[in-house]
Chains A and B, each alone.
Chain A
Amino acid sequence: MTAKGYLPALAGVFTASALYLCAQYLSLLFAPLTLPSWLWPFVLASALESAYYAAYFLGPRTPFTVRLLELALWLVPIFLLAGRELSVFLWPALLTLVSWLVARGWGMQLVRMEKVADVLGDQAASTVSWEYESLTSRSQDDLALGFFWRRLLGFGAVVVTLATLVYRSGLVEGSLSVLLKLQATVAGASGLALLGGAYLFRLQILWSYAKAVVDPGLTRAWFRNLALILLFVVALVHLAPVNYSPITAETVAGLAARLFQPKIELPQLEEPVPGEGPSLSWAEQAVPQPEDLGIMGLALAIAAFLLLVLFVTVLLAAFGFIVIQLTKGELERLRGLPKLAVEIYAALRRAAAKVLAALRGLKISLPLGKRVKLPGMRPPGGGEQPSRRRFPSLDKGVRALLRRIARQAGKKGLRFRASQTPREFGQLLQGKLEHSEELVEQFFQGYHLARYSGHQLSGAQEEEVVAAGTELLQRIQTWEGDSKS
């Protein structure tokens, strides 16, 4: 049996529990968003139904009314249970709808994964590979598990943010805390089980295409080992030490507030008279306590956090630069932190190079608008002026001109096929257009220089190539066409 049979159930449980958890945190933060006790079965059942329906029955030809009926199946009872009051109905209905939609996404992704033949095309079985398919392989990211990881971590981030807000505000105590922990554990475990199952499902699809000889007991062993891993993860999450960081948001905010607090010249205080009550020091008077910081304090904390991230990034980039200088060609052997540092350094370099290239392009494109408007040059397309948007730089303009020539020639029956090189297309064009051999030769030679030489054309060359291309375009427009091509 393939893993697909279990996956919609896991998806439903995960969706319902994660969503219900979020809703419970929201209800703690905002009192009007209270959850009725009867809602949980609806959220779970709608998620399960939607995931299974999407995984097994939903298709592009499924009528829209069927989907509406599906929704009505869940929303009408909720409306009745809400006492037919719209204000009571809206929040449970929204939760059920979101649960239903999210679960539908899971189911549809499973179907998409099954349609792997569309992606594999006509590949021979021996060329189908699963050995390199993982998050580390960028090309396979989306097809394999990128979707599941993104959703799982998205839910995780939202739940953690809400939970942090709730716990910091001290709204959770006693049995509710235990209940929420239990729900979070169920959500996390079912999410990870879904992830592991989805990966197995993907592998099973690839194995069937590759005609691999798979151990018949693999699925059972997979889920058994997965269960052990989940137990380990749950234990780690609940037993690992927490709150040991000496630098917290409060301390950072306090430091930031102290830094940015304007130093006010206070009048000289009188010497305290011995025997009088204790007086506050200057610092105690000036610095507000963290809980009194309000929105300003929160903004400062976020700014401090961003500064911290920036600082870590810069540190890592510097470390990466040193590593590159020391290891030279041995980068592929790096692992862990040095590899991360090198990757950050490389990413920053790429970003800097892109910014510089963009600035350079901006500099070049400025006079081009004027250059394109050559005296005596007739605008292509009967008075249509080439806009600056189409010719951001001239070598790109030459390439755009080729595209326009190809489009125009295609309209006249001479298609620029994907299997042809520009030179071959030019030769065809030469054969079709009378007395245009030199013009075609000149344009395509210039195109090759602009496209493949690796450096930009000089001003005069650019003008000649663009003039030739424009003239060629006009001749194609006046050409009667070739209906046979």
Chain B
Amino acid sequence: MFAWKVFALISVCAALLWQGRPAYALAYLLLLFFFAAPLVLEKSGQRLVVERGSKERFLFPGDEALVSLEVRNPTLFPFAWVSVQDSIPSNLVKGARAIRPVFTLGPRQSREVTFPLLARERGVYRLGPLRLFVGDFFGISTCQFQPAEGETVVVYPQILPLPELALPSRLPFGSLKALERINPDPTRLAGVRPYQAGDPLRTIHWPATARTQGLQVKQFEHTVTVNCMILLDLFEGDYEVSRFFVATERAVTTAASLAAHIIKQGEACGLAANAVLSEYWPERTDLSHDTGLIQMRARQGTQQLSALLSVLAGVQPQGHKDFLSLLGESREYVDGVSILLWVVPVDTPELVAAAGRFVQQGQKVLIFAVEKVIHHSLVAVPPNSSLQVFAVSQGGELQP
């Protein structure tokens, strides 16, 4: 390029000295091509606008989606070709490689570009940085620009029906009938009975009263809503090296499936995990995540399920805090909870001993071992026992 520029300058000198339109024409052309055109290309390229269709996207494993980008040329300069390269993580690329779209962009034109995505594994991924290449019509220069736009893609963990995890489909979650009849649940009508003196007027069942021609009052069930807390162990040292990836992913899948099951029952569910969050996890105010510790209070509703799944999409194992530290540091979150669901690789004696202490405080502990079960006697206990161990295996087969 340097030689061409020198040639252009020489031609300018020659035109100035020898005059005449032919010499000036050559000088103008060379100045236009080797000085003005690259400059205009760069300046116009800097003004290209790239907008993403969305900032965040949520997918389940196996889902396909299209990422759309709009490239707009607000200038009067026509771009011979525009090439877009989006940095798509390999776990999201559909096909063998990410596509590289090329198109032309005339003055004041805009073009929509789409990239197909296939969610392969759970995780929180960042699309971008986006690289935009532009070129002229004569191959003189090309320019590269990097718009700051990015997009977060959250791939939730897989949610399996409980039988597929070799778990009983009717786990004792949710509202339990209270032994002490002091908390009538106005949402659960048990029946009607004749009015007795002292019954509050608002409990009178007027249709039944009209039908029977005698005052009838509503009889409610007496229930206690239990809060559930999932405690997920993602301490690297607790997992066997040879099955590390499979076991940790199964632990996350188990936690997600349990959370989905509990919240679909209409109960509250929280999460505590000794894990780190993915680098790209979007900031949330309802989440406490110090280094190596993630805690979410128990709440009900689909919003809570969505938040839980988003967190579980981004959790990664860590090597600093073990499960017992997690139990110690999550006291504030665990204390008011009725049922604790521990998702751990192995039900070690230390864990079972710690679970015993929680049981003594009146809480129920269900241990889900994703790698191996040591205390087989705790697997075979009656369904309503306060301490139970479940062997989890993906695919539904029971662990030996």
A and B interact physically: yes
List the B side residues contacting A236 at CB < 8 Å. 28, 32
- Complex Cα–Cα for A214 and B80 (A): 13
Instruction: Tell me, yes or no, whether B170 is within 8 Å of chain A by CB.
Output: no
List the B side residues contacting A200 at CB < 8 Å. 80
Instruction: Tell me, yes or no, whether A54 is within 8 Å of chain B by CB.
Output: no
Closest to B98 in A: A126
Q: Which of A156-164, A376-384, A461-469 lies on the face that meets chain B?
A: A156-164
A347/B20 in contact, CB under 8 A: no
Closest to B24 in A: A242
B17/A168 in contact, CB under 8 A: no
List the B side residues contacting A149 at CB < 8 Å. 4
30 CB contacts below 8 A, A to B, read: A131-B83, A131-B85, A134-B135, A134-B140, A135-B141, A137-B142, A149-B4, A159-B22, A164-B20, A164-B22, A167-B22, A199-B137, A210-B100, A213-B99, A213-B102, A218-B102, A222-B137, A225-B80, A237-B21, A242-B20, A242-B24, A243-B19, A248-B17, A305-B13, A308-B17, A309-B10, A312-B13, A335-B39, A340-B2, A347-B2
B21/A309 in contact, CB under 8 A: no
B5/A245 in contact, CB under 8 A: no
Instruction: Tell me, yes or no, whether A182 is within 8 Å of chain B by CB.
Output: no
A163/B141 in contact, CB under 8 A: no
B24/A240 in contact, CB under 8 A: yes
Instruction: Tell me, yes or no, whether B307 is within 8 Å of chain A by CB.
Output: no
B22/A215 in contact, CB under 8 A: no
Known A135-B141, A237-B28; judge A242-B21 contact (CB<8 A).
yes
List the A side residues contacting B215 at CB < 8 Å. none
- Complex Cα–Cα for A218 and B13 (A): 39
B101/A221 in contact, CB under 8 A: no
List the A side residues contacting B7 at CB < 8 Å. 153
Closest to B22 in A: A163
Known A134-B139, A136-B141; judge A252-B17 contact (CB<8 A).
yes
List the A side residues contacting B35 at CB < 8 Å. 336
B139/A135 in contact, CB under 8 A: yes
- Complex Cα–Cα for A157 and B208 (A): 108
* Set A213, A229, A336: member contacting B101, Cβ < 8 A: A213
B13/A192 in contact, CB under 8 A: no
- Complex Cα–Cα for A87 and B16 (A): 40
A243/B13 in contact, CB under 8 A: no
Taking each of B38, B81, B133, which has the highest tally of chain A beta carbons within 10 Å of its own beta carbon? B81
List the B side residues contacting A136 at CB < 8 Å. 1, 38, 140-142
* Set A133, A156, A248, A249: member contacting B139, Cβ < 8 A: A133
B68 to chain A, nearest CB (A): 14
Closest to A232 in B: B32
List the A side residues contacting B106 at CB < 8 Å. 221, 225
List the A side residues contacting B22 at CB < 8 Å. 159-160, 163-164, 167, 184
Instruction: Tell me, yes or no, whether B325 is within 8 Å of chain A by CB.
Output: no
Q: Can you list the 10 inter-chain pairs with the closest CB atoms, starting with the nearest? A: A163-B22, A215-B103, A245-B16, A131-B133, A199-B139, A242-B24, A145-B139, A237-B25, A221-B104, A212-B100
B18/A237 in contact, CB under 8 A: no
Instruction: Tell me, yes or no, whether B144 is within 8 Å of chain A by CB.
Output: yes
Instruction: Tell me, yes or no, whether A473 is within 8 Å of chain B by CB.
Output: no
Instruction: Tell me, yes or no, whether A266 is within 8 Å of chain B by CB.
Output: no
- Complex Cα–Cα for A225 and B106 (A): 8
Instruction: Tell me, yes or no, whether A132 is within 8 Å of chain B by CB.
Output: yes
Instruction: Tell me, yes or no, whether B379 is within 8 Å of chain A by CB.
Output: no
8 Å CB contacts to A: which residues of B81-109?
A: 81, 83, 85, 97, 99-104, 106
List the A side residues contacting B24 at CB < 8 Å. 240, 242-243
A248/B18 in contact, CB under 8 A: yes
* Set B1, B20, B39: member contacting A163, Cβ < 8 A: B20
* Set A130, A167, A237, A336: member contacting B29, Cβ < 8 A: A237
List the A side residues contacting B4 at CB < 8 Å. 135, 149
Instruction: Tell me, yes or no, whether B354 is within 8 Å of chain A by CB.
Output: no
- Complex Cα–Cα for A343 and B4 (A): 13
B2 to chain A, nearest CB (A): 5
Q: Mark A199-224, 1 if CB is under 8 A from B, else 0.
A: 11011000100111111011001100
8 Å CB contacts to A: which residues of B137-183?
A: 137-142, 144
List the A side residues contacting B111 at CB < 8 Å. 215
Contacts A136-B1, A218-B81, A222-B104 known; 10 new A-B pairs at CB < 8 A: A133-B139, A134-B141, A135-B4, A153-B30, A163-B23, A195-B139, A212-B101, A213-B100, A217-B104, A247-B17
Known A184-B22, A240-B24; judge A134-B142 contact (CB<8 A).
yes
* Set B9, B38, B99: member contacting A312, Cβ < 8 A: B9
List the B side residues contacting A210 at CB < 8 Å. 100
Closest to A229 in B: B137
- Complex Cα–Cα for A133 and B81 (A): 12
Instruction: Tell me, yes or no, whether A39 is within 8 Å of chain B by CB.
Output: no
8 Å CB contacts to B: which residues of A151-187?
A: 153, 156-157, 159-160, 163-164, 167-168, 184
B212 to chain A, nearest CB (A): 76
Closest to B21 in A: A242
